[in-house]
Amino acid sequence: MKKQIFVSLLIVAFFNYINGCSVTKTERITPDKYSFNKEIIEEAVLLNLDVIKFDKEGGRYARPLDRVVGKLKNGENRKVLVEQIKEFRISSVEPTKLEDLNNQKIKEILLKNNVLTIFNANGGVYDEKAKIISGTTKAGETVKYSIDKVSEIYLERPETISDLNLSNGTKLTQVILKNSNLLYAFDEEGGRYLTQKKMITGLTPELKYVEIDPDSVLYLNVQRSDVSGSVLATVGLAVLILGGIVLVIAATKQSCPFIYSFDGNKYVFDAEPLGGATTKGLERTEYSKMDYLKKVDNRYKILVRNEVEETQYLDELSLLAIKHDKDKEVIPGLDGTFYQIKNPITPVYAKDEKGLDLKKAVSAHDNLYWQTKLPVDSNLIAQNQRHELIFTFPNPDNKKNAKLIANIGTSLWGSRMIREMLQLYGIYVDNYYEKIDEQGSEYKQMMDFIEKEELYKLKYYTKDGGDWKFQGFINGGGPLISETRIYDLDLSKSKGDSITIKICPPFGYWTVDYLAIQYEDYAPPKIETMVLQTAINQDGTDLKELIRIKDNNYCIMRNVGDYFEATYLGSENNKDQETTYYLKSSGYYELHLDKSSPIQFNTLNKFLTDPGYIIQYSNERYRDWEKLNN
């Protein structure tokens, strides 16, 4: 099974200086913060979970060019792109007859080819004897025109309006084009300034042109390339939502190291473990499937890099070779126990609280997943802070135990809220960390809060008769890559030939990519730990002894751009078995926060005492963030 990848943001060759190889980063992002014309859109996933694919040129999210539309005085219909217009006029001036000039300064003349000449403050003058109008234009050019080439003479200039003050439907009397100085004069109805809604446009693989309203989009899969520096630092404006559209991923994504696998030609973004382990008291061990890792010269190479503003503490980084049957795959549980999986059963029924069919989103590992469309209506979220997702699986033999296979992870905004909540502690944050590290009352209070609100631990239930039975918690992960995990299902009290599972993710915190069930048990796979040969950092230091085993002796990466390249010796492959590689990571990280601000005690206390308030707060913080970045 392929892992869930949240931002289809392809970043090529940002790390050419490592062994002359490039790094490819493949991610996926939600649509709200997309920068105009900077990314190539591979797919648009709509709110109803339909997928619109684009051809190899990709789709574009752009503001259609604004126009001025109207009928000219000569009866001709005219559309002019705003970017072609030099001056917008909202009044008209009557031309002056030649015999009425009386040596007055001429402000403008319109030639018979409809080119307008505007004179400087000294004005133009008419030489009656030579039949010539001459002067210096506003651009500083000296001109002379024979009177027989002049159509109209003006002693005053019309009132103009700045393009910054134009609004949809503004009535215009005349416009002057850039470069050519052509004048378009509209009839009494005037020309109208028309601004158009931003749209996603492009050709499908069948060469059908499509236009998509951004409001109908849940998220985009995009590609973007970069050639140097930190992936997130140099990607700059990268994406999250489609409305105002500029999200720096580094501003939303909060997690531990980015892990890249060497596929024989380049490094490919393959894992981001330890998300949410924001202090030593939350340190944990995770297992990440290395989809792209390939053996080269009997070695495997992995690149580990700090990509966000945090200090990362890695205690162990071991490469595991999982030997399993060729007709099966292997997936771990949270405790690191690996299971062989074969032909798991996907749901026959999957719907949310609005009746939206989710089967196409959750029945396969792909780039299609369910999540909240943010922001949620304030009136709705004041009454209810959760979705309700129901999944039904067949159980024809009335099995009493099963394994739930789930790829469910933390959303990008859910990840961002880790920083938002910790920042509320301000000058007290280090003291708070100490309390969490002691794993005393404050640690218990924090875990109770997270479990009650289901922010990063999501409850899952099975239906037993008319009641819902709590089965356990699904841990968050990601947000850019979410790993598939195995969870136990106790079906001893279930009746009938089907199983119904419920999850109630709070608005904005979770994504769901895949759910399946397996009833059969297979022999456990064999696990071999690869020999760590070297772990060379950016300074040329070998960190091997710091990450070889879990011993509280940490490899510390304090700065964005810190990295090391780990090399593992290859193993012998059994022709009768398949080998899947997982990376075992142990550690934690500390976000770089502003520790000078005062603690927001009232807000923090309300999180604990007012159920659901954190979800409403998160939704409003999203609105604030969206306005700031639009």
Please write the tens of the pLDDT for every residue from 596-623: 999 999 999 999 999 999 999 999 999 9
- 411 Cβ neighbours under 8 A, 6+ residues apart: 30, 371, 372, 478, 479, 508, 509, 510, 511
With cut-offs at 50, 70 and 90, classify the pLDDT of residue 401.
very high
For residue 78, pLDDT over 50 is answered with yes
Residue 170 CB burial class (10 angstroms; 0-12, 13-18, ≥19): middle
With cut-offs at 50, 70 and 90, classify the pLDDT of residue 190.
very high
For residue 243, pLDDT over 60 is answered with no
Place of tokens 């997928």: 51
Is the peptide bond preceding residue 95 cis, with omega within 30 degrees of 0? no
pLDDT value of position 198: 78
Give the mean model confidence (pLDDT) for residues 562-591.
Answer: 92
Of the CA atoms within 13 Å of residue 578, those in its CB half-sphere come to 10
Give the mean model confidence (pLDDT) for residues 387-414.
Answer: 95
Give the mean model confidence (pLDDT) for residues 191-200.
Answer: 87
pLDDT in tens, 447-497: 999 999 999 999 999 998 889 999 999 999 888 889 999 999 999 988 889
For residue 29, pLDDT over 60 is answered with no
pLDDT value of position 46: 92
- 137 Cβ neighbours under 8 A, 6+ residues apart: 117, 118, 119, 120, 143
Least confident segment among 80-84, 218-222, 244-248, 359-363? 244-248
pLDDT value of position 65: 78
pLDDT in tens, 113-144: 999 999 999 999 999 999 999 999 998 999 99
For residue 254, pLDDT over 60 is answered with no
**Rounded distance, CA 542 to CA 214, Å?**
49
Q: How far is CA 140 from CA 118, 119, 144, 180, 401, in A?
A: 10, 9, 13, 16, 87
- For the question of whether the overall pTM of this predicted structure is more than 0.85, the answer is no
pLDDT in tens, 440-453: 999 999 999 999 99
For residue 572, pLDDT over 70 is answered with yes
Give the mean model confidence (pLDDT) for residues 274-282.
Answer: 94
Least confident segment among 3-17, 93-107, 152-166? 3-17
Tokens of 230: 């930190």
pLDDT in tens, 366-396: 868 899 999 999 889 989 999 999 999 999 8
Give the mean model confidence (pLDDT) for residues 163-170.
Answer: 90
With cut-offs at 50, 70 and 90, classify the pLDDT of residue 84.
very high
For residue 248, pLDDT over 50 is answered with no
Backbone angles phi, psi at 114, to 5 degrees: 70, 20
Q: Which residue has the higher pLDDT, 269 or 225?
A: 269
For residue 310, pLDDT over 70 is answered with yes
Give the mean model confidence (pLDDT) for residues 59-88.
Answer: 90
For residue 234, pLDDT over 70 is answered with no
Residue whose C-alpha is closest to residue 135's, from 157, 170, 161, 105: 105
- 300 Cβ neighbours under 8 A, 6+ residues apart: 262, 293, 294, 319, 530, 567, 568, 570, 581
Percent of the chain's residues with pLDDT above 90 = 72
pLDDT value of position 199: 84
With cut-offs at 50, 70 and 90, classify the pLDDT of residue 39.
low
Is the peptide bond preceding residue 479 cis, with omega within 30 degrees of 0? yes
pLDDT value of position 130: 93
Residue 546 CB burial class (10 angstroms; 0-12, 13-18, ≥19): buried
Give the mean model confidence (pLDDT) for residues 36-46.
Answer: 74
For residue 537, pLDDT over 60 is answered with yes
